[in-house]
């Protein structure tokens, strides 16, 4: 059941009226739990029990790990809870990766070992809800969040269906107070939620899903494509993954508003960043801040010697790469992004301390200065280079892609396979159209929010055009979001 499916529309049509007819917040939360587990069980009912089990475990850990007088065993309790969560995540997501890597290492050293592999199905969203629960228990341990004593409120927080599958990875201090309070329907909030949902659905179905075909052609057999075609493939993948993942976040935030909740912003026009550091303050903000608070700062952050600071950055980004997937391509992708941040540790001018996700990217002027434009283009090119490793099947494939691009290598055949993919010129136009719209509207959380200044007829013309464009150009067949696999 994906956000862009007819099944989800029917699910939402049933959930919303029942939810708002319930006037008591406890009943609302209990209903949200049922809706969340039904939504999750639609993928695989067996893993709903896994999420329920880890949810109860973290609820108990929160009760026992708080900094209360006489609580001498809270550190042990915390580590038991974290170990259980990481064990579940490690088994389902990384068991075969680590056993295969160990097997290959032993063979390279001349030792014969038997390969151990099991057919493990990765539970959808396990990386997201596991990190959300872990942040709760860690915050309780450090006294940043009070232990939640109402199990219904806590399970509603863990299983909140708008952000269950792919975030944002919320913090307890932001979300639990919202579950503890009574929600009252707010028409203004709901209207903005509908606008953000519409924008997300359009990005997903019109751009992201249609970019899948040419991107697959580029990365499935890179040795047969020219350097120009591969460069186009990497460029299109940059927007496929952006439109796909930011669309999920847009829909999640919009759905939350329909239910009376406020989720944290997860994307802030990252491709207008002027440095890699700024990019990571604007891309997947909930995960970036999670790794900052629970990995980078505990390692020491920017304190200590330069060597320690470099180590902390590289370790944090390498782990972040591994979080994205059980493959060495993701690990190298994370490491490369960490390397790109090292100059900021030595050059104060590269710190970008004033460039926050809440700032207007590229400054307030409609036409950026030449320096800003060059920095944005340079940052985007570097990000595209790292995307090649993220998307390629192997590191050697990624290296081949980049090498053929740099050498402007010709295609093997007389006709480029990219030319056989329908609508590639139209898709390129759609990407540049998206960039133009986002640049003009970048002072707002999402482009449709900029329409609030226009008369109602103008707004509805835009809404209707987006709906028709989605209906005509969109595809219901693709559906699943890329980040579900992470």
SS3 at position 139? helix
- Single out the residue of 361, 363, 362 nearest to residue 445, CA to CA: 361
Q: Which two tokens stand for residue 57?
A: 């475990």
- Single out the residue of 247, 234, 162 nearest to residue 207, CA to CA: 247
Q: Which two tokens stand for residue 358?
A: 């809440």
SS3 at position 61? helix
Q: Which two tokens stand for residue 134?
A: 């872990």
What's the chain's length in residues? 486
Write the CB contacts of 466 (distance below 8 Å, at least 6 apart in sequence): 198, 199, 202
Q: Which two tokens stand for residue 215?
A: 């991107």
- Single out the residue of 198, 162, 195 nearest to residue 178, CA to CA: 162
Q: How far apart are the first and last CA of the chain?
A: 17
d(CA 266, CA 285): 5
- Count CB neighbours of 320 within 10 A: 24
Q: Which two tokens stand for residue 83?
A: 């170990």
* CA angle (456 as vertex; 453, 462 as ends), nearest 5: 85
> What distances in angstroms separate CA 36 from CA 46, 148, 166, 264, one per listed residue?
14, 19, 14, 19
**Distance from the Cα of residue 78 to its chain's centroid:** 26
Write the CB contacts of 291 (distance below 8 Å, at least 6 apart in sequence): 316, 317, 319, 320
Which residue among 142, 284, 324, 446 is the active-site one?
324
d(CA 224, CA 401): 10
> What distances in angstroms separate CA 318 from CA 294, 315, 323, one per listed residue?
14, 5, 9
Half-sphere exposure for 43 (CA within 13 Å, toward CB): 22
- Single out the residue of 139, 159, 144, 142 nearest to residue 53, CA to CA: 159
Catalytic (active site) residue 324:
yes
Of all helices (H) and strands (E), which one includes residue 155?
helix 151-158
Kindly list the catalytic residues: 324
């Amino acid at each position: 059941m994906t956000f862009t499916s007819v099944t989800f529309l029917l699910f939402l049509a049933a959930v919303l009226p029942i939810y708002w007819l319930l006037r008591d917040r406890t009943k609302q939360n209990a209903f949200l739990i049922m809706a969340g587990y039904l939504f999750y069980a639609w993928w695989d009912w067996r893993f709903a029990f896994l999420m329920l089990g880890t949810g109860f475990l973290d609820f108990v850990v929160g009760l026992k790990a708080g900094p209360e007088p006489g609580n001498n065993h809270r550190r042990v309790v915390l580590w038991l809870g974290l170990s259980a969560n990481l064990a579940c995540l490690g088994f389902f997501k990384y068991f075969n990766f680590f056993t295969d890597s160990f097997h290959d290492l032993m063979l390279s050293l001349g030792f014969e070992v038997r390969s151990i592999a099991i057919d493990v199905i990765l539970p959808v969203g396990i990386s997201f809800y596991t990190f959300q629960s872990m942040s709760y228990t860690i915050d309780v341990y450090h006294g940043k969040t009070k232990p939640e004593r109402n199990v219904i409120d806590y399970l509603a927080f863990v299983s909140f269906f708008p952000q269950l599958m792919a975030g944002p990875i919320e913090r307890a201090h932001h979300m639990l107070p919202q579950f503890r309070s009574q929600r009252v329907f707010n028409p203004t909030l709901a209207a903005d939620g509908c606008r953000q949902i519409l924008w997300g659905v359009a990005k997903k179905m019109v751009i992201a899903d249609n970019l899948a075909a040419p991107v697959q052609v580029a990365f499935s057999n890179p040795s047969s494509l020219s350097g120009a075609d591969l460069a186009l493939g990497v460029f299109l993948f940059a927007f496929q993954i952006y439109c796909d993942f930011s669309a999920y976040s847009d829909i999640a935030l919009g759905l939350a508003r329909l239910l009376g909740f406020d989720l944290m912003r997860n994307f802030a026009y990252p491709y207008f960043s002027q440095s890699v550091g700024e990019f990571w303050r604007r891309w997947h903000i909930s995960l970036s801040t999670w790794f900052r608070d629970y990995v980078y700062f505990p390692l020491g952050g920017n304190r200590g010697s330069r060597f320690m600071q470099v180590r902390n950055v590289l370790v944090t980004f390498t782990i972040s790469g591994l979080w994205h997937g059980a493959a060495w391509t993701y690990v190298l992708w994370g490491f490369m992004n960490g390397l790109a941040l090292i100059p900021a540790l030595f050059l104060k001018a590269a710190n970008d301390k004033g460039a926050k996700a809440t700032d207007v990217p590229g400054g307030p002027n409609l036409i950026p200065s030449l320096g800003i434009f060059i920095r944005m283009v340079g940052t985007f090119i570097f990000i595209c280079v790292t995307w090649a490793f993220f998307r390629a099947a192997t590191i050697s494939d990624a290296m081949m892609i980049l090498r053929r691009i740099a050498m402007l290598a010709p295609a093997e055949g007389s006709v480029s396979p990219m030319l056989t993919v329908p609508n590639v010129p139209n898709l390129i136009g759609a990407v540049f159209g998206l960039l133009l719209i986002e640049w003009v509207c970048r002072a707002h959380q999402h482009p449709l929010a900029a329409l609030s200044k226009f008369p109602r007829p103008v707004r509805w013309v835009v809404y209707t055009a987006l709906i028709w464009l989605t209906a005509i150009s969109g595809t219901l067949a693709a559906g699943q979001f890329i980040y579900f696999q992470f």
